[in-house]
């Protein structure tokens, strides 16, 4: 008799425990308010691409400053930066980017003559076959329907795999928030028809963005006219950031 | 004075994967290695390994308990860690972590449960009060013990061991694959990484078992099962040769092919990692154990005491070798800039959240845990050597 | 069967746990996940709802139209307001009012105006890596060239940020011109040879290749020793083959060198106070932008000024006698001598003006040589009858 009662008690305990557990999952489940956003079909009309004209950049760093203010980028990390390449008359190459060029460049690197020198602004290339979205274990790094690689800050666990996988060094872990972060092509601005902060700030038209799906867009026209290069094309990431006047010293 | 060439992408100044990520493959390496050794007895019936089979299983479990600790410590948002199971992206090598870890945990737990059932039943009958209640929960209140149940238990252990070997290989191998498949990183990207990690794991598993077995038997003044030790030492020697050869072949291959990355990687090996890789990992911690184990494996006439001491010492060195290997791979790979023009620096810090003190605690605790596991799952000198 | 009980129980427990985990998985998974791909669809909305901070020039011009018009015509037309004034979202929200303006204080809404020297140098510091056509200076050399003695002088003391080089022509209307280079566009150190003496030198235009007349003329005049063609004829590149050049002559541009300032060397180059320099001169259009050239063109190079070298207005030829000679005093108007030398009148009248004392006696010879028509330029034909029959 005692054994029967104890067994009944145990059964009751286990079943009610399981029930409570499942019920608590309901309580913790994420019911989200769906914010106003364009429909999926509308977004499919766009495929955002970017052009960096290295023949026009003067390395003033206005883009870096504008991006930092626009997107609250933490200190010593960069969503975009400018690199400077200088080749001396003795064929020595020197590359630098002092604090991402946020305060431009203060002096030349070589005291002697320089035979070739130029600036290369860099940012997330928003690759079509991006390594970062492939390796995210939780699906927090993804492609939007309009071709922008984005990070879901509410879902990211901060494992850092995407930071390792990006060949271009454009991702970082925001230590204040614990999640990954990177250039979003100012998605919040381009969705309203405004240009990204860096494009807006550039005084030399060295940065351009546009819809690659629109055959009449400026970006398509430039790509059909000028010669351009991609960064690390051998890695198969299919980046959508095109560098006009790209020199082979730029890795 | 024209400055020397050294350039990093601005985001590369701070490395992302710290010493925590060095510890994680180290610990899972020992988990996988110990389990595979145990399975060689259970599945393939190597009698010589019988004395250490249960010990290996429990060690594997003890280390497994602690495998996620460095990862959780490292995550930016550890409270969201379950996302890896809720919304896994199966294109990612890391996504398998949640499921494989849980599957392996179940397998090891079940294998221990079935192996130790007889001991648990015995303990249950002999103890009183709360301890008796705890044991009752563990055996699920079923005290059935006869030849039939023992036969069934043994079969299940064999099956679990058999399934467990590939799962253990994947548990540790996926980490190697994860590193090897990162095409962006010059030091990591190779198809061999998966294999190197597995062989290195077996080395660390064998080494930790030998190290602890000899240590515990000396402390408790028990007789050592020399056959098991000799066999494991020979295997350790063999696997160690293969593991080190694979790594050196990798470097030989890159240096021979002279592709673009060789210029910066040769600087990495000759300067940044000179101490930790060339001097420590290869020099001290590979060549010395290799020589010692050659002596113990080839010279049969050696005195057992000396032999066991040399084996114990080599195991200790190899444990450090594997730790250094993990460090050189994980940290070394992040020191190189993806621009192929410079290096960054890394020091974990002493009392940081992911610093040396925490690392030390994380490594030490499984060993302490193992000490107390001995009370629950006695792994040496049980009267009835159940399976 | 009883012997297998423990096996069945433990495996059932494991299976039970797995089932509960699956249910948990379904319930705890974020709501909009996997809607259009392996991500949380609502994340798109989250990211889109981030607030814009940097304002575009179109927003600024809605209120600051005058500055916008000025800005668009001069060299900084492509420099957006945010580069110097900062992001501006608080300023715009505060002044637009409405919901967004809550919690913004008037202090927060103030935009920064003063830009320090370092800020200008972000763009204009001379760096080897900057394209040669881009206006860039080495601060010390620039100050030395302009004889600026105070090294803490800000750029804005001379250059208005909205109108930095005082272009006469709208930037977009200026004429297209092939690319022209200066030696120091590419060369760090001073260059001794002319480029045509250097074998394999890249082909470049020099101004004298097409404008040899003017260049030769320029070389004979004072400005030649101190400035080059491109110092005043501002050139900027449109793309790799072509640029735009300005026939500049804006008075404000000349004053960049020639106006007396406290931070500049007193003596050199010759300096004037402005507008004091022309305040005493009467009868000239002081609003003429090319006013310096009207008098000083001959110190630069020969040039065809549209107003025929006269700052006086188009009907001055017929009007000037009303101002030139003061009939009451019977003297020449002294203010003419501020610009004109004594014999200036002779250059048109071909006879001494004012007529000298002994003109009454000598005019007979002059009329014999040059004819009566000369007199009739000023005097009516009946004038002779005043003395002659």
Give CA–CA dist A241/A167, Å, rounded. 14
pLDDT score recorded for residue A32 = 64
CB spacing of A96 vs B12 below 8 angstroms: no
Which strand (E) or helix (H) includes residue C65? helix C65-73
Residues B201 and B334 in one domain: yes
Give CA–CA dist B208/B213, Å, rounded. 8
- The whole model's pTM is what? 0.88
CA nearest A78 in B: which residue?
A: B11
- Which of A34-43, B55-64, C99-108: highest mean pLDDT? B55-64
Residue bearing the bigger pLDDT, C281 or B318: B318
Residues B251 and B294 in one domain: yes
Nearest to A30 by CA among B76, C37, B86, C48: B86
User: Which three-class secondary structure state does DSSP give residue C79?
Assistant: coil
CB spacing of A157 vs B83 below 8 angstroms: yes
Residues B301 and B214 in one domain: yes
Residue B4 lies in a domain: no
Confidence grade of residue C307 (pLDDT, cut at 50, 70, 90):
low
Strand partners, A118: A85
Tokens of C48: 């889109």
Residues B371 and B258 in one domain: no
Task: For residue A100, give how far its alpha carbon lies from the nearest alpha carbon of chain B (Å).
Answer: 6
Residue bearing the bigger pLDDT, A3 or B31: B31
Instruction: Write the secondary structure of C338-383 as one string of H (helix), E (strand) and C (coil).
Output: HCCCCCHHHHHHCCCCCCCCCHHHHHHHHHHHHCCHHHHCCCCHHH
Residue B76 lies in a domain: yes
Give the mean pLDDT of B133-138: 87
Provide CB contacts within 8 A for C319, sequence distance 6+: C313
CB spacing of C9 vs B142 below 8 angstroms: yes
pLDDT score recorded for residue C370 = 81
- CB-nearest partner of C45 from A28, A34, A71: A34
Task: For residue B112, give how far its alpha carbon lies from the nearest alpha carbon of chain A (Å).
Answer: 24
Vertex B302, ends B297 and B308: CA angle to 5°?
Answer: 70
Confidence grade of residue A224 (pLDDT, cut at 50, 70, 90):
very high
Report H helices in chain B. 19-42, 50-74, 83-86, 96-126, 129-138, 147-180, 193-220, 226-257, 262-267, 288-298, 304-335, 356-376
Q: Are C88 and C81 in contact (CB under 8 A)?
A: yes
Q: Are B333 and B34 in contact (CB under 8 A)?
A: no
- Size of the A and C interface in Cβ pairs below 8 Å: 176
Tokens of A169: 């060094």
Give the mean pLDDT of C273-281: 82
Residues B122 and B194 in one domain: no
Residues B293 and B377 in one domain: no
Neighbors of chain B by Cβ distance (3+ pairs < 8 Å): A, C
Write out the residue range of the structural domain in which residue B239 sits: 189-346
Residue B9 lies in a domain: no
Give CA–CA dist C94/C116, Å, rounded. 26
Residue bearing the bigger pLDDT, A186 or C333: A186
- CB-nearest partner of A139 from B76, B87, B334: B87
Residues B331 and B369 in one domain: no
Average pLDDT, chain A: 91
Nearest to B213 by CA among B197, B227, B199: B227
Confidence grade of residue A211 (pLDDT, cut at 50, 70, 90):
very high
Residue B5 lies in a domain: no
Tokens of A64: 């870096």
User: Which three-class secondary structure state does DSSP give residue A169?
Assistant: coil
Give CA–CA dist C354/C373, Å, rounded. 18
Domains of chain A: 131-181 (3.30.70.20)
Give CA–CA dist C301/C222, Å, rounded. 9
Burial class (CB in 10 A: 0-12, 13-18, 19+), B139: buried
Give CA–CA dist B357/B350, Å, rounded. 6
Which strand (E) or helix (H) includes residue C306? none
Chain B CB within 8 Å of residue A119 CB = no
pLDDT score recorded for residue B39 = 92
Confidence grade of residue A11 (pLDDT, cut at 50, 70, 90):
confident
pLDDT score recorded for residue B385 = 39
| pLDDT tens track for B9-45 | 999 999 999 999 999 999 999 999 999 999 999 999 8
Provide CB contacts within 8 A for C234, sequence distance 6+: C75, C165, C167, C245, C246, C248
Pick from B100-114, B208-222, C278-292, C364-378: least confident: C278-292
- CB-nearest partner of B11 from A77, A155, A157: A77
Check pLDDT > 50 for residue B383. no
Pick from A75-89, A206-220, C134-148: least confident: C134-148
CB spacing of A154 vs C46 below 8 angstroms: yes
Residues B120 and B256 in one domain: no
Chain B CB within 8 Å of residue A110 CB = yes
Residue bearing the bigger pLDDT, B56 or B382: B56
User: What backbone phi and psi angles, to 5 degrees, belong to C238?
Assistant: -90, -50
pLDDT score recorded for residue A33 = 62
Confidence grade of residue A170 (pLDDT, cut at 50, 70, 90):
very high
Provide CB contacts within 8 A for A104, sequence distance 6+: A59, A60, A61, C121, C122, C123, C125
Give CA–CA dist A199/A208, Å, rounded. 6
Give the mean pLDDT of A153-177: 96
Which strand (E) or helix (H) includes residue C249? none
CB spacing of B142 vs C4 below 8 angstroms: no
CA nearest B188 in A: which residue?
A: A164
| pLDDT tens track for A154-164 | 999 999 999 99
Give CA–CA dist C340/A138, Å, rounded. 86
Task: For residue C46, give how far its alpha carbon lies from the nearest alpha carbon of chain B (Å).
Answer: 18
Q: Which of B8, B70, B81, B92 to substitute to test the interface with A, most A CBs within 10 Å?
A: B92
CB spacing of A155 vs C30 below 8 angstroms: yes
Furthest-apart CA atoms within chain C: distance in Å: 162
Confidence grade of residue C240 (pLDDT, cut at 50, 70, 90):
confident
| pLDDT tens track for C30-89 | 888 888 999 999 999 999 999 999 999 999 999 999 999 999 988 899 999 999 998 989
Check pLDDT > 70 for residue A59. yes
| pLDDT tens track for B119-131 | 888 888 888 888 8
Residue B7 lies in a domain: no
| pLDDT tens track for B302-312 | 889 999 999 99
Pick from B47-51, B256-260, B345-349: least confident: B47-51
- Which of A178-187, C305-314, C329-338, C353-362: highest mean pLDDT? A178-187
Check pLDDT > 50 for residue B1. no
Vertex C79, ends C75 and C81: CA angle to 5°?
Answer: 125
- Residues in chain C closer than 8 A to B106 (CB atoms): 14
Residue bearing the bigger pLDDT, C316 or A58: A58
Nearest to B336 by CA among B267, B251, B278: B267
Tokens of A183: 């250039």
Nearest to C49 by CA among A141, A148, A150, A188: A188
- CA distances to B67, C60, C119, C132, C150 from C124, rounded to whole Å, are 56, 24, 9, 12, 19
Q: Are C115 and C101 in contact (CB under 8 A)?
A: no
Residues B133 and B172 in one domain: yes
Chain C CB within 8 Å of residue B138 CB = no
Using DSSP bridges, classify how beta strands A228-229 and A241-244 pair: parallel, antiparallel or unpaired: antiparallel
Vertex C345, ends C341 and C346: CA angle to 5°?
Answer: 105
- CB-nearest partner of C2 from B82, B106, B144: B144
Give CA–CA dist C251/C163, Å, rounded. 13
- Residues in chain C closer than 8 A to B149 (CB atoms): 3, 6
Q: Are B76 and A177 in contact (CB under 8 A)?
A: yes
Chain A CB within 8 Å of residue B264 CB = no
CB spacing of C127 vs A36 below 8 angstroms: no
Check pLDDT > 80 for residue A4. no
Give the mean pLDDT of B360-386: 80
Residues B168 and B99 in one domain: yes
Residue bearing the bigger pLDDT, B290 or B145: B290
CB spacing of A160 vs B88 below 8 angstroms: no
Check pLDDT > 50 for residue B384. no
- Residues in chain A closer than 8 A to C61 (CB atoms): none
CA nearest C5 in B: which residue?
A: B142
Check pLDDT > 90 for residue A31. no
- CB-nearest partner of C6 from B85, B86, B142: B142
Check pLDDT > 50 for residue C151. yes
Residues B86 and B200 in one domain: no
Check pLDDT > 50 for residue A226. yes
Pick from A84-93, C112-121, C346-355: least confident: C346-355
- Residues in chain C closer than 8 A to B85 (CB atoms): 21, 25
Residue B1 lies in a domain: no
Give CA–CA dist C87/A201, Å, rounded. 10
Q: Are A243 and A120 in contact (CB under 8 A)?
A: yes
Chain B CB within 8 Å of residue A78 CB = yes
Which strand (E) or helix (H) includes residue A123? strand A114-123
Report H helices in C113-220. 117-124, 139-145, 183-186, 207-210, 212-219
Burial class (CB in 10 A: 0-12, 13-18, 19+), B50: middle
Check pLDDT > 70 for residue C306. no
| pLDDT tens track for C185-237 | 777 777 887 788 888 888 888 888 899 999 999 999 888 888 888 888 888 88
Tokens of A59: 């390395």
Nearest to B354 by CA among A178, A171, A139, A181: A178
Give the mean pLDDT of A29-42: 71
Give CA–CA dist B385/B271, Å, rounded. 53
Residues B53 and B79 in one domain: yes
Give the count of beta carbons closer than 10 Å to the beta carbon of residue B274. Answer: 12
| pLDDT tens track for B259-281 | 999 999 999 999 999 999 999 99
Residue B8 lies in a domain: no
pLDDT score recorded for residue C114 = 64
CB spacing of C48 vs A188 below 8 angstroms: yes
| Positive/negative CA dihedral, C236, C238, C244, C248 | negative
Task: For residue A221, give how far its alpha carbon lies from the nearest alpha carbon of chain B (Å).
Answer: 30
Residue B3 lies in a domain: no
Neighbors of chain A by Cβ distance (3+ pairs < 8 Å): B, C
Residue listed under structure tokens 């994380």: B362
Strand partners, A181: A172
User: Which three-class secondary structure state does DSSP give residue B318?
Assistant: helix
Residue bearing the bigger pLDDT, C219 or C378: C219
What's the total number of domains in chain B? 2
Average pLDDT, chain C: 84
Give CA–CA dist B54/B42, Å, rounded. 10
Chain B CB within 8 Å of residue C27 CB = no
| pLDDT tens track for C76-133 | 999 999 999 989 899 999 998 888 788 888 888 888 876 788 889 999 999 999 988 7
CA atoms within 13 A on the CB side of A17: 8
Check pLDDT > 90 for residue A114. no
Residue listed under structure tokens 């003017």: C214
Burial class (CB in 10 A: 0-12, 13-18, 19+), C220: exposed
Residue listed under structure tokens 């054994």: A3
Give the mean pLDDT of B174-184: 96
Confidence grade of residue B380 (pLDDT, cut at 50, 70, 90):
confident
Q: What ipTM was estimated for this complex?
A: 0.90
Nearest to B379 by CA among B217, B254, B165: B217
Q: Which of C13, C30, C45, C48 to substitute to test the interface with A, most A CBs within 10 Å?
A: C48
Q: Are B8 and B29 in contact (CB under 8 A)?
A: no
Check pLDDT > 80 for residue B335. yes
CB spacing of A153 vs C46 below 8 angstroms: yes
User: Which three-class secondary structure state does DSSP give residue A208?
Assistant: strand
């Amino acid at each position: 008799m005692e054994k029967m009662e104890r067994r009944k008690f145990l059964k009751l305990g286990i079943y009610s425990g399981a029930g409570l557990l499942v019920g608590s999952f309901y309580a913790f489940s994420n019911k989200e308010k769906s914010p106003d956003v364009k429909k999926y079909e509308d977004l499919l009309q766009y495929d955002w691409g970017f052009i960096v004209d290295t023949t026009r950049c003067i390395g003033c760093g206005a883009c870096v400053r504008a991006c930092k203010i626009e997107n609250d980028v933490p200190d010593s990390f960069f969503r975009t930066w400018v690199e400077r390449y200088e080749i001396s008359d003795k064929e020595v190459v020197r590359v630098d980017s002092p604090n991402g060029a946020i305060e431009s460049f203060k002096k030349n690197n070589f005291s002697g003559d320089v035979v070739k020198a130029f600036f290369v602004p860099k940012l997330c290339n928003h690759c079509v076959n991006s390594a970062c979205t492939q390796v995210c274990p939780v699906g927090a790094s993804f492609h939007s329907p309009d071709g922008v690689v984005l990070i879901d800050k509410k879902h990211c666990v901060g494992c850092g795999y995407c930071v390792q996988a990006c060949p271009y060094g454009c991702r970082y872990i925001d230590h204040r928030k614990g999640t990954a972060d990177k250039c979003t092509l100012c998605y919040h601005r381009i969705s309203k028809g405004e240009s990204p902060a860096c494009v807006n700030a550039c005084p030399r038209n060295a940065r351009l963005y546009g819809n690659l799906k629109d055959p009449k867009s400026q970006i398509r026209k430039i790509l059909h006219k000028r010669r351009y290069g991609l960064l690390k094309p051998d890695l198969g990431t299919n980046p959508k950031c095109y560098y006009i006047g790209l020199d082979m010293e730029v890795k | 004075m024209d400055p020397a060439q050294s350039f990093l992408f601005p985001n590369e100044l701070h490395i992302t994967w710290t010493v925590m990520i060095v510890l994680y493959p180290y610990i899972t390496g020992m988990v996988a290695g110990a389990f595979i050794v145990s399975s060689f007895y259970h599945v393939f019936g190597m009698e010589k390994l019988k004395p250490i089979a249960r010990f290996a299983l429990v060690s594997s479990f003890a280390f497994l308990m602690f495998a996620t600790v460095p990862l959780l410590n490292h995550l930016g948002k550890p409270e969201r860690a379950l996302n890896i199971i809720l919304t896994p992206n199966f294109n990612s090598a890391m996504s398998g972590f949640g499921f494989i870890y849980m599957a392996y945990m179940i397998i090891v737990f079940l294998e221990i449960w079935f192996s130790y059932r007889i001991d648990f039943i015995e303990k249950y009958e002999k103890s009183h009060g709360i301890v008796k209640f705890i044991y009752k929960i563990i055996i699920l209140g079923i005290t059935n013990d006869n030849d039939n149940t023992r036969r069934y238990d043994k079969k299940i252990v064999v099956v679990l061991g058999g399934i467990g070997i590939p799962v253990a290989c994947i548990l540790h191998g996926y980490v190697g694959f994860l590193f090897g498949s990162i095409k962006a990183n010059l030091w990591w990207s190779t198809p061999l990484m998966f294999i190197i990690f597995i062989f290195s794991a077996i080395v660390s598993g064998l080494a930790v078992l030998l190290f602890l077995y000899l240590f515990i038997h000396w402390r408790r003044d028990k007789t050592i099962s020399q056959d098991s030790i000799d066999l494991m030492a020979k295997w350790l020697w063999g696997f160690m040769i293969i593991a080190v050869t694979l790594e050196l072949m990798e470097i030989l291959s890159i240096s021979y092919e002279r592709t673009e990355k060789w210029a910066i990687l040769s600087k990495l090996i000759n300067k940044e990692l000179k101490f930790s890789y060339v001097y420590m990992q290869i020099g001290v911690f590979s060549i010395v154990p290799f020589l010692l184990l050659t002596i113990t494996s080839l010279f049969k006439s050696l005195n057992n005491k000396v032999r066991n001491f040399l084996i114990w010492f080599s195991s200790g060195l190899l444990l450090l070798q594997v730790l250094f290997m993990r460090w050189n791979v994980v940290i070394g790979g992040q020191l190189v800039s993806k621009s192929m023009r410079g290096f960054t620096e890394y020091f974990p810090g002493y009392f940081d959240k992911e610093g040396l003190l925490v690392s030390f605690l994380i490594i030490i605790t499984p060993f302490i845990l193992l000490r107390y596991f001995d009370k629950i799952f006695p792994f040496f000198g049980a009267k009835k050597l159940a399976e | 069967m009883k012997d297998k009980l423990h096996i069945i129980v433990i495996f059932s427990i494991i299976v039970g746990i797995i089932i509960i985990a699956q249910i948990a998985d379904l319930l705890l998974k974020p709501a909009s996940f996997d809607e259009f791909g392996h991500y949380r669809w609502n994340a798109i909305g989250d990211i889109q709802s981030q607030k814009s901070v940097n304002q575009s020039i179109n927003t600024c011009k809605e209120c600051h139209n005058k500055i916008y018009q000025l800005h668009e015509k001069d060299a900084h037309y492509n420099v957006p307001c945010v580069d110097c004034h900062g992001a501006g979202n608080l300023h715009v929200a505060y002044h637009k009012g409405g919901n967004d303006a809550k919690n913004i204080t008037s202090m927060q809404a103030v935009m920064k105006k003063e830009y320090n020297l370092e800020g200008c140098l972000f763009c204009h510091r001379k760096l080897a890596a900057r394209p040669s056509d881009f206006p860039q200076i080495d601060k010390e050399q620039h100050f030395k060239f302009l004889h600026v003695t105070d090294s803490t002088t800000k750029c804005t003391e001379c250059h208005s940020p909205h109108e930095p080089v005082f272009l006469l022509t709208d930037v977009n209307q200026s004429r297209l011109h092939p690319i022209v280079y200066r030696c120091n566009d590419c060369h760090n150190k001073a260059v001794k040879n002319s480029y045509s003496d250097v074998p394999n030198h890249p082909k470049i235009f020099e101004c004298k290749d097409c404008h040899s007349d003017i260049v030769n003329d320029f070389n004979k005049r004072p400005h030649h020793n101190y400035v080059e063609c491109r110092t005043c004829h501002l050139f900027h590149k449109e793309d790799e083959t072509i640029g735009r050049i300005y026939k500049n002559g804006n008075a404000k541009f000349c004053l960049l060198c020639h106006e007396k300032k406290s931070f500049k060397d007193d003596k050199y180059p010759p300096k004037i106070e402005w507008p004091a320099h022309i305040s005493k001169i009467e009868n000239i259009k002081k609003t003429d932008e090319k006013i310096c050239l009207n008098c000083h063109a001959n110190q630069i190079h020969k040039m065809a000024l549209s107003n025929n070298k006269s700052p006086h207005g188009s009907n001055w030829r017929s009007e000037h006698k009303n101002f030139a000679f003061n009939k009451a005093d019977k003297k020449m108007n002294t203010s003419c001598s501020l610009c004109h030398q004594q014999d200036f009148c002779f250059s048109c009248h071909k006879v001494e003006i004012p007529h000298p004392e002994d003109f009454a006696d000598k005019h007979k010879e002059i009329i014999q040589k040059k004819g009566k028509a000369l007199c009739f330029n000023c005097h009516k034909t009946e004038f002779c009858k005043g003395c002659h029959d």
